[in-house]
Amino acid sequence: MKSLEERISRAIWRHTSRDWINMSSVDIVIVGAGPAGMTAAKYLADKGLKVAIFERRLSFGGGIGGGGMLLHKIVVDEYAIPILKDFNVKHIYDDEEQLYIIDASELMAKLAVGAINSGAKIVQGVHVEDVIYRENPLRIEGVVIQWSSVAMAGLHVDPIFVSSRAVIDATGHDAEILRIVAKKVPESKIVLAGERSAYAEVSEKIVVERTGRVIPGLYAAGMAVAALHGLPRMGPIFSSMLLSGKKVAELVVEDLKPL
């Protein structure tokens, strides 16, 4: 007769292993469970694609949770309303400012629920430290992952791999994956212009416009787009993060179609 302790351990090992074997190859890896990453995940999973989000923290939401300077509200403009409806996020209209107001906690939770209910997997505590690439023709074909705790402890532990047909950098202001590829795959010719100071009206539009494929197999969404193209920041208005996530999903679906 197995003890409860033994059964707990066996259950966790068995089901985690099954998941990881299943995730050793996916259609799309999304790096970062912020607003752009989770929005992209839902729309990709809605198309029946196998989606894994790797998030290095033990929570999802990225920059949403801090609201605006720790005040628990964020704002969006009208262009984001259809996305809020898809995720069932409550929003109220402020007549005076002509903006929609959302509770930060509700947006975080419902973006995650939407992505998960559509079939995407969010795995927390996993740090993406590199990519898999192929030459002739150049293509990104997955990511190299490590437990965040190992990365934080600075231990020298070899990572493992997740193969994918597409990788989306949704890591926010630091554009971590683009930065790695720029440095370690020089033939990618990626040059990060670096994010510019605040100019919300311009950045809300242009971040969405410039969202897309960077090199074959590698895409940028959310604030990573600003870091790549030298675009201004916008602070706690999140319409472009949601629209960028939706747009990158549509572009990836289009690119993966012929296979």
Q: State the residues that interact with ligand 48F by CB under 6 A.
A: 31-37, 54-57, 62-64, 127-128, 170-172, 176, 222-223, 233-234, 236-238, 241
> Residue 252 CB, nearest distance to ligand 48F (Å)?
16
Can you tell me the distance from the alpha carbon of 151 to that of 155, in angstroms, rounded to the nearest whole number? 7
> Residue 110 CB, nearest distance to ligand 48F (Å)?
15
Is the separation of the CB atoms in 252 and 43 below 8 Å? no
Q: Which is nearer to ligand 48F, 127 or 246 (CB)?
A: 127
DSSP E strands: which ranges in the chain? 25-31, 51-55, 73-76, 92-94, 99-103, 121-124, 126-134, 139-147, 160-169, 196-198, 212-215, 218-220, 232-233
Q: Which is nearer to ligand 48F, 139 or 233 (CB)?
A: 233
> Residue 178 CB, nearest distance to ligand 48F (Å)?
11
User: By C-alpha distance, which of 83, 78, 70, 77 is closest to 35?
Assistant: 83
Can you tell me the distance from the alpha carbon of 248 to that of 223, in angstroms, rounded to the nearest whole number? 13
Size of the chain in residues: 259
> Residue 76 CB, nearest distance to ligand 48F (Å)?
10
Q: Which is nearer to ligand 48F, 133 or 238 (CB)?
A: 238
Q: Which is nearer to ligand 48F, 26 or 170 (CB)?
A: 170
Q: Which is nearer to ligand 48F, 65 or 119 (CB)?
A: 65
Q: Which is nearer to ligand 48F, 2 or 164 (CB)?
A: 164
> Residue 55 CB, nearest distance to ligand 48F (Å)?
5
Can you tell me the distance from the alpha carbon of 82 to that of 102, in angstroms, rounded to the nearest whole number? 14
How many C-beta neighbours within 10 Å does residue 21 have? Answer: 9
> Residue 231 CB, nearest distance to ligand 48F (Å)?
11
Tokens at residue 115, please? 């992505």
